[in-house]
Structure formats: C-alpha cells, structure tokens
Chains A and B, each alone.
Chain A
C-alpha cells in the first residue's frame, strides 16, 4: 500500500510540476499593440498622425474611388468594366446597399477616428520635443478635409450646398476607445458640419507651419487652400476670393506652362501642386490599374467619356491629358499601373478658378475674366471674351470641367450649379447619395436615410 502511495505521489508531483504554466493561457499579441495603453509617447503620436494619411490613401477613398466616382456619377468618366457596383453609379441609379458607398463612408469615418485619437491623446503627452499645436493643427485640418468630403456626397440639399434645409452627417469629434463609445450619433445639420469644418481649418491654418514636411503633409498654405474651396461650396464669395487670393499671391506656387501641363502628374510634386497624396513602390494605389486596358496590365474598369473628349475646344493642350489616344480614352493624370501615381488633392489652377468664380459672383467681372483666362491661355486657348456675369459663370463651369477632369470635382460642381439634368439625373433626390443602408439599419434609424431612397 505504501508503494502505491509513493507511486501516486510521483504522478501527482509530475502533474503539479507541469500544471503551473498559467502563462500558456495569458499571452500577448505578437504583431500588434494592446490598445489599453493608448498613444503615450512622441513616436506613438507621430505614427498615429502618419496613420491618418494612410487611411486617406485607401482605394475606397482618395486612393481611387472618391474622386473617380465624382466624374463617373457625372459625365467625365464612363464605366467599361465588370463591377456591378460601379455600373449602378454610372447608371445614376445607386441603391442604398451599394458596397462602394458603405466602404467609402466607413473609410472616411475610420480616418476621422484616427484623427480624433490624435486630437484626444496629443495634449496629454509631455515631451518637449513634440510640438503639440502642430500635431493638433494637422489632425484637425485633416478632420475638416474628411467632413468636407462627406458633405460633398452625402450631405447638402437637392439644390446644392449651404441651403437652409441642408442635411449633414453624424459629427463625431471624440475617439472610439471602448465598446461603450459605439452608440450611434444622429446626423446634424449641414450648417453644424460646416461650422466644425471651418473651426478646424482655422485652427489648422493658425497652428501649422508654412512647410510641414513637403507637399504630402497638410500645412498652413494647403489648409488655406482647402478653406478657399470650403467658402466656394458655401457660396461665401468674398471670403472665397480673399482666401484663394492669398494662396495665389502668397503661397509661392506657380502654374506650369502649357507645354509642361502633363508634368503636373507625369513628374509629380510640381510647383503648381498644393497638397498631394504621395504613393511609392511600397505603398501603391490601383488608380491607373482601374483605368488601363488589360493589355497594359490594367483591369479596364473605367475610361474617359466620349462626352469629355468632345467638351474640349480645338487646340486645348489638356485634351491629350484628359482623353488619351493611346491607350484609348484614358488619362495622363494616372499612368503608373504599378500604382505609384500621386493624387493631386489641391493645386493652384483650382485656386484661380475659385477666385474667378468668387469674383464673378461678386460682379467683379474683369478680374474674374482675367483669372479664367490665366487657365485658358495656359491651356493654349484663346482668351475668353465673356462679358456678362452669366456668360462668365458658364465659361468658368466649363473650364472647371476640363481643367479638373479626373480629379473629383465634376459631380460636386454639378450639385453646386444645381444642374443635375445636365448629367442625366431627372430625380432631384439623387443629388445626395444614400447613406449606406447598413449604417441606417445598424443605428436603428438613428442615422437617417436621405429622402427618396
């Protein structure tokens, strides 16, 4: 009996010796950080800020879809490929469950959460080497960029922007840190979103340095340029003029010559560029891939529309850029199938056109015409002789279509000018894209759908 006891003891000792390995079930991730600690150091916050730009680069957003849809849902780009979700957009018959919509929406808000995280964490980091106000300025400026872009598709009114009945989007200004933070916020009015955009932009402009590490990062000047665009959308003409003017006259940018026009994209980082989303071989996009034919390694999803081609006047140097002969019906703005094309988010030509329009609206017709003709003459065209405000505005609209083709302006301009029928939309509610169906359902209708869908 004693022997058996000894044997059992041996076995028990053996088991106890191996049983004490509780660390087998309390493990830490190998390739991620636990978020409980949050961002606590200078390098954390710098990396978090970099992460904000990374989200903007997504193919669901400024890495492709955001801007090509603005031309596809209008008249500059035609759909030649296979994606049914693209076809819905091209057909101007978007259903609220279109995945492109929800992907884009999700991507923009994911970016906003990254920015809110930076805005939330930065003030608590005590490191003299960290310039907190610059970090906050950059994060808030980017947040303004995000909300502005949301309004362009999902907000506003059927007749344009900054109207009294304008619909906004949920205004999320705090980071989502724990599950309790996931309660849906309802949409606010368009005016409330604008107020936040302008506050953030002002803060960015006030706190960012003139140069913040190259064209790829938001700085004082690009924040200002974005503000000019915001005033344009709001129809605040005198501010639009003043701010655009300040960028044009004090920004230190210069237009490329007509002969070098294509180099804005072919060479990239041009003197005309104000804010450029940078891609490189290890951080690529699918833009040219979506345009280019299969024989050149693309997927032939979209082309320049025949209508865009015919919208050009004779001898316009931009025609060869906007509607290429070979490969047929593509654009020189995106040519690197390997995915290293930068995306020019803001450039000087747009500022001229903003100032032209703002001046025209204020009946400063001569100055407006001069601005317009800066763009026309650079493009190799004869100066416009538009003499009335109406003629001038028509000319500016046309010029914007050509000058900014493939850059994600056309549909929003159509909205601003309230000319939906000109791109074949007969149902005014389609001026606002539907809020993603999933978002409406998941929120239990706290986030309301746009009318008509």
Chain B
C-alpha cells in the first residue's frame, strides 16, 4: 500500500509544490556509506515527498507544519526522522536477513530450511582462479564435487563429477543451469584433432557469477527430474543493486609455463638403442655410426612461456524501480604448447524492472565469442605433444634447406611443424538470454512465466598446407564445419508462500517446455593452388560435403511443497514428471520424486543451555529418485541412414535397431547429514554420508557382430556409489585488524558396477566388469625379466607337455631380456586369460583446503593472503605414454628409463631388452605402466594489497587492490608423467570418458602460472 502511495505521490508532486512553504535538503545513504539512489523521502502522513537523485540527495519544499519525514528504500528498514534545518544526513540500515539464502532449483530457501545436500561456492572464490571456465574454477571448492582438467588445452574440456559417476554410456557431467536456463553443454567441434574436445561452458565469463550452488542429492536435484543424475550446478549471475553506480575494473596479466618435462635420451643414445633392437632380430642397422647423430630436445622446442591476460569492466546500480548489471570482458590465453591460443570476449546485461507493484520483469542476457587455435593432440601422429615425445631426438628441427626435418623411418610428424604448419581453429558465438515476468496475483502467490534461448554458432576450420604430412599427399586440405544450436525454453511457475503462525508453507507448481534443434554442416576440399588461399572456392577437389540435423524436446510438470514449523522442523517433497522425445514410444514419461526433512535441534528450547558453545546442530535426511535422459536423440528408434554411397550412387544402410522401451537412467539416493556450528558458528562442520543406487543404466548392450550390429540400446546395468562429504569452515582468528579463516573439504567415494552383462575393454587398459569400479584397469602382471634361454626352455617344455608340441609359455620369439608375465590362471602358458583387474582410476578421497588471511592496517591499507591446496588420493593412472616412450620396439623417441635396459651385461634391471617390433609384446597392458596417481597441489596462492580508503577517496576511487596469484605452483606426486591431473579420454570423446579415465597418453599438460592483477572500484 505504501508503494502505491508513493506512486501517487510522484504524480501529485507538482501540485503539492505549489503549496510549499519551506525547502529542506539532505542525503540518504546506507549504514555502510553507500549512496542510496531513488529512496523515497515523504512527509509523514502526507503525499508530499520526493525520491533521491543519483548522488542520494533530495531537496524539496514542505509545509511549514511538517515535522517528520518517512524515508524508505527497498531492502532497507524504513526510518522516521525529524526534519532539521541544514543538510540532513539520513542513514538507512539494511533489512537484516536472518538466514543466508540458498538458491535451490526454481527458488530459494533459508539455510535452516534446506533439507537436502547443496554446496555453495561464492563468486569471489571463482574469480580468484585465473582460468577460462567456471567448471575449472570449481575445482577443490566443494566436497563431493570432483573436477579434473583433462588436459592443459586452453578452453578445453573439463570433467566434473558430483558424487561420482552415474552413467556408462551417457555423460557423467552435471546439468548446468545458468540463470534458470538448462544449458546445453558439451563439445560442438566436428574436427577430430585427437581426444581433446571443446567446451561450450568456457564461453561463460566466470567473473559475472554471483554464486554457484551445486545440488548433490536427489532430494535437492529431483526438481530437475530426468536431467539430475549427475547433480545440478545452478549458476546465478550478478545483478545490480539500487544505489549509486558501481564501476569495477579488473585486470590481470601473467605468464604460464610447463610444470615438468620428461627426460629424453640423446641422439647417439637413440641410434645405439635402435641398432641394438634391430640387431636383436638380425635386421640391418639403421645408423652406421650413432655417435654422429645430433640431439634435439623436442619438448624444449614445443613448450614455451605463454602469456595469459584478462580484463573486465562492469557497471551496476539502479534505483528502487530498475536495477542493472552490465559487464564486458576479454580473456586471452596462449597455451604453453607452441601454437595454441584461446581468446574470449563476453558481454552481459542483467536488468530488473518493477513495472508495477505486482509485476516485475527480469532480463538476463549474455553474449560471447570464443576463438581458439587448436593443436592436434593425444593419440595422433600429428599431435604436437605426441610428436615431441614420439619423435626420436636424433632428428634436427630443420634440414639444411630450412624445411622441417622428418624421420624417414617414422610416421610421426615433426613436432614444430605439427604446431605451426596446420591452421586449426574454431570460433564459438553464443547468446544466452532469459526474460521472466513475475506477477503477484495475490499476496504470497506469484506466477512467473519466462522465455529463454541459448543460441550457439560454432565454426571449425582447418587447413593442412602442403608442408604438412597430412596435406602433402593431397595438395593441401581445408575442412570447414559449422554447428548451429537453438535451445529454447518456456517455463511457467506458480509459487505460493504463506505463514500460518509458526507454520510456514511454501509451494511450487510448474510447467516447462524445452526444445533443441541442432544443424551441422561439414565441407572438405583438397588440391589448392598453393597454401595462401585457403577458402573452398580455390579447392579443385570438393571432397566431402555434408549436412545433418537432430533435435530433442522435453515437457515437464514439476512441484514442490515445503512445510516448516518454527524454524525447527522442515519437511519437503519434490516431484517432476518429464516427457522426453528421447524416450521410447512405450516409455514416454518418467516421474522423479523425493522427500526430505530437517530438524534444527539447536532451535529447541532444551538446547538453550549449550547454545553458547554449540550454536547450530541440525540433522537432515532425504530420499529420492532422479534420472538421466542423456541418451542420443533418436536412440530408441530403428534407423536407416544414407551416405552408404558407392560409385556416385546413393546408398542406404541400417544403422540402429529399435528399442521402444528405451528410457531414462535412474538414481536412487539416500542422504543424511549433520551440521554443527560451534562458538556462534565460528567453526562449522557439515558431514553428509550418502548412498546411491544407479539402475536402468543405459547400455549399448553388445550384440554379436554377426547380426550386422555391434550393440543394442537398452536400460540394463546397475551401479552403486557411496561416500561421505565433509566440509569444515573455521574462523581461526579475528579481530579488528586480522582475520584468518580456513575452509577445508574432503570427500570419499566408491563406485561399484553391480550388474553389467559382458566384461568389456575400453581405452587402452580399462575394463568394465560386474563387481568392480567403472574405471578399473585390467591387464597382465610382470613377473620378472627372463635371464637365460634355459629359463625360457623350461617354461616352454611345461607348456608343450600340456598343450602339445607347438605350445610355448609366451611366444616363439621370447628371448632372454624379455619380460616374463605372471601365469595368473596357472595353466602353464600366457593367454588373454592371464589378465586381471590391476587397479582403479577413481580416487579414494579428494578435496581441498584454503586459508584466507587479511591484515587491515587502517590508513596503511590492508593485505590479504590466501593459499589453496587441492588433493587427490588413492587413484591409479595408466601411463600409456611410457608404453611408447619406454617401449623400445621401433622408431619412437625414448626417455631416460631405457638406458637401464636389459643387456647381457646389465641384467639386474626391470627394464626389458630392446628388440625391434617387440615380438614378446613386453609393452602389453600390464601393471608395468600402472602408477599411483595421488597428488597434492598448491592450486592457487594469492597475495594482495588493498590501498587505504583515505588515500583513494581523494581520487574518487572506492577501492583498489593489487595482487599476485600463482597457479599450480607446487605439486607433490609419485606419478612419473607430465601431469597427474590427466585424462586422454576427455569429456565429450564418448564412452571412454566415463570408463577409461585416468589414462595418460601424450596429453597436453597443465601450466603453472604467475599472475599480477589489479582491481579498481569507482
């Protein structure tokens, strides 16, 4: 009612002024000296008044008899002040928010009301980490949220696991919801450059983020129904606050470099080794005199010190009716491997307008463009890091004539040529927009309708000039691909909140529609007139032209009912029904319910005696079922595809068998939790054990190839996961000048496949089998090095006794110096059955610990220091790089370990002999390549200095901070590869990303960086 009055007062203001008799003036600000723009200043009991201007000032004429002013502003307690002469200074105190508000799906809840598992990360924490994407910035910040950078590829894919994996063939990435829009994440590149994929999430500027809430259990996430299995990451971007405009300028600049290099052998050592290997098979020697060979350190040739810089400008403010937040950012990163870059420009405008007291409009829009120069990578003879490891050190960078040198005996590209000659890049343009209208139908009942769009325009380009191996044979080759994604969403929600005495009721009902259409095009042309013109008009052979499209749609009904009594007992029920185009015709709709409750024991009267010590004691429990519809768009349909062409004739071929009962994957969760706060919550601890049963897991169930198909989609497998998430926050010390707080989190997790039809190999040594973790490794075990022919003959003799005269223990070409593998099944010879589970890529526990200190020296400014360690313990890495760089089987570059190889004179070693083509297959998947992947890393160290306000106010600057940040400065690990945080099967690469994690194969390592930054606020 008051607002209506104010509204009227504005209209009648001109009239009133005619009757005015004296002028008063003043300024309205907040209790922490923020100027309040648009605050209402009215003579009490009248309509005479005004609103404050952009400087918070007001000035108007009042009747002589007026004595009291009513001053009000949204978010602040209204105040009555006596009119005084002169310039009045009025301070409003902010409305006390009793409880921290937590964003949950489709609404917010107070901390006491939260009955489920939700972790919150504030935007301040994210903006400290100098990385491209918000997903990378979440690393180590929340218990049970396990983030792995698959590689150091700038802008590359990052894997995020919320309470472990839930799927085998679908994605295990959480659902990202950005300002209410379920975000189509993933990789839209169509160019295979190795395993590293692109990441649509890196189009989002982390500096625009106010907070991230991660819904971890079904009780919290079931509101997202069939997309909630892997948790939900709710991203809330910054919005303006009414008040004087706030301008913030942030910039940083730094250098990145490689953390570690492998030690290659020299050219002469290489020549000797290869000759030795050839001689072992009585083959001609490749090098007449190895001692004359040159030595190239390929890693030094391709790793570089690379700059990273970021600049942001944001503007926010508004008045009582309209608030805004606008920002622009530019992020430029060069990769530490020659030739790789990532650049991004972003813009955001968030606008809130109170149209009337009952109607509110909220707009959120962002637009971005990311560009990246990519490199071939991973399992790829044209890969840059790959070639730098696999190319022998005996080859010089360039020949005498200046052309890049190549090893005539090897298929590996010259690493420097691989980095510089091909032109591989992408541009990703993305618009994310949402317009929502809130209508308060009656008090407490709000209807919200919103329309959102995510538009992605992704363009790949690649040119292989004739100077590359890939382009040499075809006269240069250009490839261009585009993806256009239109993801549209309409949501309609009814929200009701009412308190009946001590009983608070909050109810939500909703109806949403989402649809996504993607269109792809792909062109390839060859034979160019030289390497200058790279567009298709110049290609004389139009080799490949394709376009394709796909789509999906989902309709949902959702509801939530929350009852809370006296801030002590809360019970919540959630349900969502999803109908998806992806599900089979016989299984169109899935229903996902959850129920949970909380008891804030410390609010009970009987607790009052110990409340001064144990300030918070809360118990909660939840149960629910959530789902995943992350299956291919038409996976339930039987398909016949075109493109099976021959001799310029169109061909058709069946590509997929139908399964009309194909449905969602299901995850049943039990979560319990205890939250304890000590000493007025200076110490707060949260412990949440959970257990998940995953069932109906989507399988491409293998069928015998004789059917003409490899697999049949179905919901068959089962898996279980459990763990404990623990978070501990302590305010270790605080006084006027110094505060020190610690934030520690740790999570355990285990995963077991409990039903999987046929044991299946993945990746290089990964294996999926009932009874073991989804990321298990399987292979042979090394017994010893065979020292004498007698030893081999004895083994072979036994094998012959059992299996006939042609049998041998290992192979017919096994010789002294080869590895003897363990006869696991004890049958007297080595066969495929002599393999067993060797270990698991899933850590036993993961976590992070950050310490933040600030020292306030008043007029001398303040210092802040924070250091953040992230750790992973108990996982194994399959180092397939070593299977090549220590394989001694051919022409690949080798590392120093091979210098200790077995020879008749060096027999006390675990490195086998060098032998051309490795006939004993010493390099086979075995525990020889399996290493402990545990590490602890100083992920971030930041030291900052904020200049004193007294100094800055003279130059009209609100605040100014300079800082130094170091990223990945120190790592402790036993892992011998370049980086223990590694996965050659990056997110987006398919099923191997789920089942063959923890595999290292020629991966672009992460950088360590030194960064200087400046933040200025006006």
Residue tally, chain B, CB below 8 Å to A: 100
B656 within 8 A of partner (CB):
yes
Q: Name the residue on A nearest B284 (C-beta).
A: A306
CB pair B921–A93 under 8 Å, yes or no, is yes
Known: A4-B442, A34-B639, A292-B473. A102 touches B657 (CB 8 A): no
Interface residue ranges of A408-453 to B (CB < 8 Å): 426-429, 436-439, 441-443, 446-447, 452-453
Known: A79-B917, A338-B474. A293 touches B408 (CB 8 A): yes
- Residue in contact with A31 in the complex, picked from B490, B494, B550, B638, CB distance below 8 Å: B550
Produce 1/0 per residue, A20-60, CB < 8 A to B. Answer: 01101111011111111001000010111111111101000
Q: Name the residue on B nearest A184 (C-beta).
A: B704
Q: Name the residue on A nearest B808 (C-beta).
A: A427
CB pair A15–B511 under 8 Å, yes or no, is yes
Interface residue ranges of B65-119 to A (CB < 8 Å): none
- Nearest Cβ on chain A to B531's Cβ, whole angstroms: 14
Produce 1/0 per residue, B566-583, CB < 8 A to A. Answer: 000000000000011100
Known: A27-B581, A30-B549, A47-B651. A91 touches B813 (CB 8 A): yes
- Residue in contact with A427 in the complex, picked from B381, B475, B541, B812, CB distance below 8 Å: B812
A110 within 8 A of partner (CB):
yes
Residues of B within 8 A of A299 (CB): 381, 411, 469
A385 within 8 A of partner (CB):
no
In Å, the complex CA distance between A232 and B490 comes to 70
A310 within 8 A of partner (CB):
no
9-residue interface stretch from A173-181, A237-245, A253-261: A173-181
CB pair B705–A176 under 8 Å, yes or no, is no
In Å, the complex CA distance between A81 and B412 comes to 9
Known: A82-B381, A106-B710, A296-B472. A439 touches B705 (CB 8 A): yes
CB pair B637–A54 under 8 Å, yes or no, is no
- Nearest Cβ on chain B to A230's Cβ, whole angstroms: 21
In Å, the complex CA distance between A293 and B812 comes to 31
In Å, the complex CA distance between A184 and B758 comes to 14
CB pair B706–A297 under 8 Å, yes or no, is no
CB pair A297–B471 under 8 Å, yes or no, is yes
9-residue interface stretch from A131-139, A279-287, A318-326, A345-353: A279-287
- Residue in contact with B441 in the complex, picked from A11, A36, A284, CB distance below 8 Å: A11
Known: A18-B490, A31-B549, A91-B917. A294 touches B469 (CB 8 A): yes
- Residue in contact with A44 in the complex, picked from B634, B652, B702, B807, CB distance below 8 Å: B652
A366 within 8 A of partner (CB):
no
In Å, the complex CA distance between A74 and B515 comes to 56
CB pair A182–B709 under 8 Å, yes or no, is yes
A360 within 8 A of partner (CB):
no
B999 within 8 A of partner (CB):
no
Interface residue ranges of B587-603 to A (CB < 8 Å): 588
In Å, the complex CA distance between A337 and B642 comes to 26
CB pair B647–A216 under 8 Å, yes or no, is yes
Produce 1/0 per residue, B710-754, CB < 8 A to A. Answer: 101010000000000000000000000000000000000000000
- Residue in contact with B712 in the complex, picked from A19, A82, A179, CB distance below 8 Å: A179
Residues of A within 8 A of B890 (CB): 82
A112 within 8 A of partner (CB):
yes
Residues of B within 8 A of A182 (CB): 657, 703-704, 707, 709, 712
- Nearest Cβ on chain A to B515's Cβ, whole angstroms: 6
CB pair A24–B639 under 8 Å, yes or no, is no
A166 within 8 A of partner (CB):
no
Q: Name the residue on A nearest B541 (C-beta).
A: A281
- Residue in contact with A29 in the complex, picked from B637, B646, B702, B706, CB distance below 8 Å: B637
Q: Name the residue on B nearest A19 (C-beta).
A: B511
Known: A50-B645, A88-B921, A216-B646. A29 touches B513 (CB 8 A): no
In Å, the complex CA distance between A90 and B548 comes to 40
CB pair A439–B704 under 8 Å, yes or no, is yes
- Residue in contact with B652 in the complex, picked from A33, A80, A278, A288, CB distance below 8 Å: A33
Known: A48-B652, A114-B654, A427-B806. A25 touches B588 (CB 8 A): yes
In Å, the complex CA distance between A55 and B641 comes to 13
- Residue in contact with A87 in the complex, picked from B390, B807, B918, CB distance below 8 Å: B918
B695 within 8 A of partner (CB):
no
B871 within 8 A of partner (CB):
no
Known: A27-B553, A32-B639, A292-B473. A439 touches B657 (CB 8 A): no
Residues of B within 8 A of A155 (CB): none
- Residue in contact with B702 in the complex, picked from A48, A284, A292, A442, CB distance below 8 Å: A442
- Residue in contact with A438 in the complex, picked from B511, B634, B702, CB distance below 8 Å: B702
Residues of A within 8 A of B647 (CB): 50, 53, 214, 216-217, 278, 280, 283
Produce 1/0 per residue, A375-394, CB < 8 A to B. Answer: 00000000000000000000
B413 within 8 A of partner (CB):
yes
B544 within 8 A of partner (CB):
yes
A404 within 8 A of partner (CB):
no
Known: A18-B492, A48-B652, A184-B704. A178 touches B639 (CB 8 A): no
- Nearest Cβ on chain B to A451's Cβ, whole angstroms: 10
B4 within 8 A of partner (CB):
no
Q: Name the residue on B nearest A281 (C-beta).
A: B541
| A–B Cβ pairs within 8 angstroms, 27 of them | A19-B511, A24-B515, A26-B581, A27-B551, A29-B634, A51-B644, A51-B651, A91-B813, A91-B921, A93-B919, A109-B708, A114-B644, A170-B706, A182-B712, A280-B648, A284-B543, A294-B410, A294-B413, A295-B472, A297-B469, A337-B474, A338-B474, A426-B806, A426-B812, A438-B705, A447-B704, A452-B803
By a beta-carbon cutoff of 8 Å, the part of chain B in contact with chain A is: 381, 390, 406, 408-413, 441-442, 447, 449, 469-475, 490, 492, 494, 511, 513, 515, 526-527, 541-544, 548-555, 579-581, 588, 633-634, 637-642, 644-659, 702-710, 712, 714, 758-761, 803, 806-808, 811-813, 831-832, 889-890, 892, 917-919, 921, 923
Using A110-B709, A182-B707 as known contacts, list a sample of 10 further A-B pairs with CB atoms less than 8 Å apart, ordered by residue number in A: A11-B447, A11-B494, A27-B633, A82-B390, A106-B705, A181-B707, A281-B526, A296-B472, A300-B409, A439-B705
**Minimum-distance CB pairs A-B, first 5:** A297-B473, A113-B708, A337-B473, A35-B638, A51-B644
